[in-house]
Structure 1
Amino acid sequence: MTNMEKNKMTRRNALTAAAALPLATGLTGAGARPAAAQPAQGPQVPRTYRVPLGDFEVTAMMAGTRTVPEPKGTFGLNASDEEFAEVSKAAHIPTDKAQFFFTPTLVNTGSAVILFDTGLDPAGITAAVEAAGYAPEDVTHVVITHMHGDHIGGLSDGGTPTFANAALLTGQEEWNHWTEAGNDTFESKVRPLEDQFSFLGNGEEVAPGITSVLAPGHTPGHMCFMLESGGQKLMLTADLANHYVWSVGKPDWEVRFDMDKELAASSRRKIFGTLAEDKTPFIGYHMPFPAVGYVEAEGDGFRYMPHSYQLLMT
């Protein structure tokens, strides 16, 4: 090695040592001030997730999440404990608790701002809509996929509508059922707004490019909605499936919340079969946030594949 090369090596070593010195001194040097302990801030779930769909802009909104114990009492009622445990282990999820997500969707068509479902309460859905960049008065339509409390809870407060400027729509069959059900949440949240509702049948338009798809079983008139713009499609599946493993993966497993369990399983198979065949993405109200994904046929059921960046590149 020449003297010049030795000098270069010496200078390089000196520079490397000097660069590392502040970090080393800060950690272990004499007289160094110890770093102050900082409490953990806890897990964080994003509030909104926006994707384009042709000329539409679709925003999934986190209106609430909670941990629920003993999921076997809700999902897989007709599965054995052993099978439930085996399927859960394969998906790397626990069997003693599950995380529930509540995800209304906002669709800006360019001429209308349409909210699908209203979450658990007025404060939660208002915060979600504002986090998405809108005010409650900007919402032109509210569509209720079905009348369970976690979908109608934010519709009104003491008879006062949360979205005062919005036209209200729901399925005719769904309305017919709940008006006779004697349900307290329906009576307090929905009944006071009865005169403001319009009703949809299967295959009818909410707005150009947004079509109802009857998917009964979870409730008698439960509806999904197909969005289509610029040659692109995305389906809002609402509560067609309540869990990405125990309902999507096992469509015949009975769910406590499904009013007609056999019919609900049939609806899951029919609609997820079509989505898988057509490679159409969907937003599921209870899927892990941001609740956007795909399905493909696998075994006797389907495999849920979360959206990564596909819709962002169209």
Structure 2
Amino acid sequence: MITHSFKRRTLFGAGAAALAAPGLLTGIATAQESAEMGAMASDAAFKVLKLGTFKVTVISDGTRASENPHETYGTNQPAEAVSALLEQNFLPTTGLINGFAPVLVDTGSEIVLFDTGLGEGGREAGTGKLAEGIRAAGYAPEQVSVVVITHMHGDHIGGLVEGGKPAFPNARYVTGQVEFDFWKDEARVGTPAENGHKAVLQKVVPLAEKTTFIADGAEVVPGIAAIAAFGHSPGHMIYRLESEGKALILTADTSNHYVLSLQRPDWEVRFDMDKAAASATRRKVFDMIATDRLPFIGYHMPFPAVGFVERQDQGYRFVPATYQFDI
């Protein structure tokens, strides 16, 4: 018979130590742990990764709950199939929680922000935490020198403006030409894309004079290059970061759920505007990531949103990163 030799005070002592240093368990820092930086207590969360000489900080813009996963994922499948896959992966079948994860990249000469979260319009519902997270991580919005918009859905452009002014006043902007042209076009009026068109007119068009419009393969700054990944939106772009021979892919919304979109990449997603193209892009991008064994950061992956994939069955298995960036 096996007996347990732990004493009560030993267990409590270990628990107290763990509670005193939650970052040691999770690798995720919060603003409470950043008192040395003068941050106000909050629930802002961020994760710092080292990629060569780049310092990559994933910031949580918050989370949002929704019901009935089948109404968003696997919309071309029986609801029972979606529920079965969720159950197989120890997930509830009646609802899901979606996170939003902008990324700040400090190259040493530039501070590049990828996407801006939901901004002030999301705060009442518990999102729009990007600015808070940037400060908790030891930066200020004024330090951001480049803002890259992967695509122009509301949860990526919502934080461009704060109080009627640019939220990143010293930044220049980079985004895809195809994406901008689609959303700016008045042909969107009277279509399901009309609200997106209005948001772009409000938040993106006023910044056009400070924006560089790019295409596939363009270099944002040294070590950061664009890759066309159309489908989720007409001009959706992803980005390859590379420093000292180490690479990482920012996949944006190529996959929106770590199980439903990765294990079943051909299942349709309500938010994918061209569903066939989005599926083909998922396979192309994640085949490349799996083959090259690259880490990736997905905007809607479970926070801190960084991991790997391996081919499995009909698609891919998400493998969350742990200490790979700490050694």
Q: TM-score, normalised by structure 2?
A: 0.81
Question: In 2 relative to 1, CA 229–125 (structure 1 residues): closer, same or farther, beyond 3 Å?
Answer: same
Deviations 1:149-208 (A, max 9, x none): 000000013641000000111011111111113422112111222211111110110011
* 46 and 304 in structure 1: CA distance in 2 versus 1, 3 angstrom threshold: farther
Q: Cα–Cα, structure 1 residues 50 and 310, in superposed 2: closer, same or farther, change >3 Å? A: same
| Partner of residue 207, structure 1 | 221
- 8 Å CA contact retained: 1:159, 1:192: no
In structure 2, the gaps of 5 or more residues are 1-7, 13-41, 121-127, 189-193
Equivalent residue, structure 2, for 1:302: 316
> In the alignment, is the contact (CA less than 8 A) between 1:158 and 1:188 conserved in 2?
no
SS of the residue 1:227 aligns to: strand
2:145 and 2:249 map into 1 onto residues whose CA distance is 20
Residue type of the alignment partner of 2:183 = W
The reply on whether 1:100 has 2:105 as its aligned counterpart is no
Aligned to 2:302: 288
- Aligned letter for 1:99? I
Measured in 1, the distance between the counterparts of 2:174 and 2:164 equals 17
Aligned partners of 1:298, 1:161: CA distance in 2, in Å? 44
Mapped contact 2:44–2:136 kept (Cα < 8 A): no
Q: Higher mean Cα deviation, 173-182 or 58-67?
A: 173-182
Query: Are the equivalent residues in 2 in contact too, given 1:120–1:151 (CA < 8 A)?
Result: yes
Aligned-partner Cα distance in 2 for 1:252–1:133:
40
Q: CA deviation at 1:125?
A: 2.1
Q: How many residues align?
A: 273
Q: 2:128 aligned with 1:132, yes or no?
A: no
Aligned equivalent of 2:279? 265
Contact 2:44 2:133 in 1 (8 A): no
Show the counterpart of 1:84. Answer: 82
- Rounded Cα–Cα distance in structure 2 between residues aligned with 1:75 and 1:179: 28
Specify which of 287, 292, 296 is matched with residue 278 of structure 1: 292
Matched, 1:246 2:237: no
Corresponding position of 2:17: none
TM-score (norm 1): 0.84
For 1:144, the equivalent position in structure 2 comes to 149
Paired with 1:111 and 1:118, the residues of 2 have a C-alpha distance of 21
Asked whether the equivalents of residues 159 and 193 of structure 1 are also in contact (C-alpha less than 8 Å), the reply is no
> Which letter maps to 2:326?
L
Q: Does 1:167 align with 2:165?
A: no
Offset at residue 132 of structure 1 (A):
1.6
Given residue 73 of structure 1, which amino acid in structure 2 is its aligned partner? E
Name 2:205's counterpart in structure 1: 191
Which one of the candidate residues 18, 28, 51 is aligned to 1:53?
Answer: 51
Which residue type is aligned with residue 228 of structure 2? L
Give the match for residue 230 of structure 2. 216
Code of the residue aligned with 1:175 in structure 2: it is: F
Q: Cα 1:256–1:268, aligned 2, differ >3 Å: closer, same or farther?
A: same
Q: Distance in 1 between matches of 2:59 and 2:163?
A: 24
CA distance in 2, matches of 1:312, 1:202: 32
Q: Tell me whether 1:176 sits opposite 2:190 in the alignment.
A: no
Cα displacement (A) at 1:124: 2.5
Q: What one-letter code is carried by the residue in structure 1 that aligns with 2:50?
A: P
Larger Rg over CA atoms: 1
Contact 1:158/1:189 (CA < 8 Å) preserved in 2?
A: no
Question: Per-residue deviation at 1:286?
Answer: 0.3
Compute the displacement of 1:261 (Å). Answer: 0.2
RMSD: 1.7
Report how far residue 69 of structure 1 moved: 1.1
Letter in 1 for 2:227: V
Letter in 2 for 1:235: I
Distance in 2 of aligned mates of 1:268 and 1:220: 14
Aligned residue in 1 for 2:239: 225
* Structure 2 Cα separation of the partners of residues 300 and 46 of structure 1: 36
